[in-house]
Amino acid sequence: MTSIFRRCVAAGAVAAVAAFASAGVALAATTSGPAGRTTPSETWQHVHDRVAKALSDRQTTLAQLTASTGSNQDLTATDRQVLQSLLGPETQGINQLAATVAAATPQNTTIAQLRQDAVTMVDQYRVYLVMAPKVHLSEAADTQTDVEVRLSGLEPRLQDAIARAGHPSDAVQAYGDLLTQVSNATSTTGKADVPAVLQVSPPGYPADGAPLASARTSLQAAQNDLKSARSDIRIIRNAIQQGKASSQAGATG
């Protein structure tokens, strides 16, 4: 009987220690305070600070995007107007959410509510994955279009210069490549569907995000063509300069 009693006491002690240990592990898995202990308010503060920081970062990004949209001289009037009409409410919404979180206290807001604010911040606004790409891709498309127009405007001038230099072979070859590169770039930039990019909605992402990836691919390909065209101009210029230098040397020699 005594033996049975002792066994029961021992088993109870083991169970108690195990229960205490598991409770300790559970506490350690959350946030521990300065003294190694965790209180509910510290956990609440941790969640609150993370949400507030994430909102603050988005406010900074939106301010940068708004400034860029306002100052970029290559954006078309339509694209600028659409972007500003999207950035305004987006900024207003994030600001409102940030104010709500800033005013939250452990007494009036639960952790679950804070987590819901974080979900809203991401799913409803998508500052990084939708809004920022909209601005960046629109800027890239409009800027590249401007460069293509400028390069096309130089083509007759280059042709004239090559003719006046006596058609140096390097220049003629580079000019042919330039025409191809500018034509390809213009066509490929046109495939970047900016109106479709601007219609991608944060709540609809990622299901409706295909135009972002598609535009990105087209713009990169077109940009490579434009850089090749720029290199062609360098080759043409050098060929003309070398031809002139050699003809001058021949005249003086």
Partner 1 sequence: MHIRWLAVAGAMALATTPALAACSTAPAHPAGGTPSDGAGTPGEPAAAPGERLVPDASPSWSLLGPSGSAISDADLARIDQGLSDATNALIGADQDAIHDESGDSAP
Binding site for partner 1 (CB under 8 A): 46-47, 50-51, 54, 72, 74, 114-115, 118-119, 121-123, 126, 128-129, 132-133, 135-137, 139-140, 143-144, 146-147, 150-151, 154, 157-158, 160-161, 164-165, 212, 216, 219-220, 223, 226-227, 230, 233, 237, 240-241, 243-245
Question: What is the number of other CB atoms lying within 10 angstroms of the CB of residue 84?
Answer: 13
User: Rounded to the nearest 10 degrees, what angle do helices 132-164 and 210-252 cross at?
Assistant: 20
Cα(93)–Cα(115) distance, integer angstroms:
17
Q: Least CB distance from residue 26 to partner 1, whole Å?
A: 18
Cα(205)–Cα(213) distance, integer angstroms:
12
Q: Sign of torsion, CA 29 31 37 40?
A: negative
Q: Least CB distance from residue 2 to partner 1, whole Å?
A: 54
> Which one, 22 or 113, has the nearer CB to partner 1?
113
Measured CA distances, 70 to 129, 138, 139, 198 (Å): 21, 13, 11, 16
> Which one, 198 or 219, has the nearer CB to partner 1?
219
> Which one, 7 or 227, has the nearer CB to partner 1?
227
Residues sharing a CB contact under 8 Å with residue 39, sequence separation 6 or more, in sequence order: 33
Q: Least CB distance from residue 201 to partner 1, whole Å?
A: 15
> Which one, 39 or 74, has the nearer CB to partner 1?
74
Residues sharing a CB contact under 8 Å with residue 230, sequence separation 6 or more, in sequence order: 151
Q: Least CB distance from residue 253 to partner 1, whole Å?
A: 18
Q: Least CB distance from residue 244 to partner 1, whole Å?
A: 4
Cα(233)–Cα(239) distance, integer angstroms:
10
Q: Least CB distance from residue 210 to partner 1, whole Å?
A: 13
Q: Least CB distance from residue 226 to partner 1, whole Å?
A: 6
Cα(97)–Cα(153) distance, integer angstroms:
49
User: Rounded to the nearest 10 degrees, what angle do helices 111-120 and 40-71 cross at?
Assistant: 20
Give the DSSP letter string of 127-191.
IIIIIHHHHHHHHHHHHHHHHHHHHHHHHHHHHHHHHHTT--HHHHHHHHHHHHHHHHHHHHHHH
> Which one, 165 or 198, has the nearer CB to partner 1?
165
> Which one, 22 or 248, has the nearer CB to partner 1?
248
> Which one, 74 or 180, has the nearer CB to partner 1?
74
